[in-house]
Structures are given as structure tokens and as C-alpha cells.
Amino acid sequence: MTAFLDALPLAARRELFDVGRLTNVIVGETLFRYDDLNNQVYLLLDGWAKGWAYTDYGGHALVRLYRPRELIGAEPALIGYRLARQERVTSATMARVLAVAGSWFAEFLRHHPDASGLVNRSLIGRLHEADQRLAAVAVSHSASQRLAQVIYPLIKDAHPDREGLVALPVPLTQEELGWLAGLSRVSVTRVLRQWRQQGRVLTGYRDLRFPVLEWFEASGTFARSFDDCITDVDTV
């Protein structure tokens, strides 16, 4: 799915940068906390972020990844009043973010209908991805397919290194991969061991590199991208 910043017209992009506050964040830094009433909107200029939900037993689980040039935390600006955050968001890598006050961002959307449509499309795209993850569990895709469905979108546009290998662009533990795929850490470990034996992955500490992407593409074909669905509608 095309990132919010890349789809935003140049004039509107400049207007955002004029009023926003540019900040560098370190790995693990919290952008906002669960139940936080802060209505700040963040534009992730580069780097990655992770969205966490709290579990019933007091822990937390990774539920979402935010890509470079994505919008984070725009919901309060859309509905026009403060809304308690439903996730905690932390930086997964070194990153630069543009922080914009929610009240100003709401005014910005009123004056830029195209930008408002892009925000809506971004949020609907996230719902689409969440629905696909639930569907993969419901129809009992194999553990290998479900893990491939998480990994392939992250690596499909990456550039190979000198050895011809493609690495995950964001560090993820096996437990985090399991949360995203709806698998236990034990299942993720088993799948990665099988892939390693089959020559489909090289593993290290929070480091996965892949020599063959064609197999992942074939394994992930059941997961249609949101942009593909939009194209189908637009061409009817």
C-alpha cells in the first residue's frame, strides 16, 4: 500500500513540514502509550515503529508494524475529540518523525480533502490487513504459510546485499513474528528450522536473511494486497 507521505501532494506535504516538529528517536523510544489522551499525530519519515497491545495477563503483544513514511495516531484528529490510545507505539529502529498537533492536523484535513481521503485509505488498509491475518487463522493455513504471509510483504521490495540475500528491514524476535502470524514461538522456531534446512533462510540473532523470494511470493498469494483490491474496484 502506498505510504501516506508518498501519496500526499507536494504543496500539502510542505504545509505539514512547516507546522510540524522534526524529532529524532532512538530504538525503543515510546511515541505514545496505551490509554494516553495525547492527540499528537506522527509522520514516520524514515525507520520503523511497532504497535503493541496489552494482554489479559498483564503482558503485551506486537499487533502492528508501521513502515517508513506512514502516519501514526491520526484517529483523534479524524473524529474531532480526544481518544484514549488503544496501543502503545515504540520505535523499532532509529527514526525521524514529524510531530503535528492533532488540532492543527484536523484543520489541515478539512482544507485538504485529498489528504483526508489518504488517511481514510490508510486506516482501511490496516483493517484489511488485520482481516487477512484473522482469515489465515480461521481457514487453517499452515504455520509455514502464515509466517510467509507476514514476512513476504516486508522483504518483497528490498534490495539484495552483496551476497544476493534479502534481510528483514526491521528487527523482529521469533516471539514477535509469532504474534504477527498468530503462531506460538515454538511454531515459529520449527518453521524457521525447516526453512533453514531447505535453504530458504539464514538465521542469526534477530537477523533473518533470505536467498530465494520466489517461494515466499508463491506462498503468500492467498493474501491479496489492499492496493490490489482498490485496483479491482477502480477498473470495474
Does the residue 38 lie in any domain?
yes
Q: Tens digit of pLDDT for each residue in 52-76? A: 988 877 788 999 999 999 988 887 7
Q: Are strands 88-91 and 49-54 parallel, antiparallel or unpaired?
A: antiparallel
Range of the structural domain that residue 28 is part of: 4-134
193, part of any domain: yes
Are both 30 and 57 inside the same structural domain? yes
pLDDT value of residue 235: 38
pLDDT in tens, 120-172: 777 777 777 776 766 666 665 688 888 988 898 888 888 888 888 899 999 99
158 lies in the same domain as 108: no
Query: Are both 156 and 92 inside the same structural domain?
Result: no
Regarding whether 22 and 123 lie in a shared domain, the answer is yes
Domain boundary among 105, 134, 163: 134
Q: Are residues 65 and 165 in the same domain?
A: no
Q: What is the mean pLDDT of residues 10-14?
A: 88
pLDDT score of 117? 80
Q: How many domains does the chain have?
A: 2
- Residue 174 falls inside a structural domain: yes
Look at residue 212 in the predicted model and tell me its pLDDT.
Answer: 72
> Per the domain annotation, does 233 fall within a domain?
no
Domain shared by 22 and 93, yes or no: yes
- Cα dihedral angle (226, 228, 229, 232), rounded to 10 degrees? 160
Is 29's pLDDT higher than 60?
yes
CATH number (domain holding residue 67): 2.60.120.10
Same domain, 46 and 152: no
Which residue type sits at 2? T
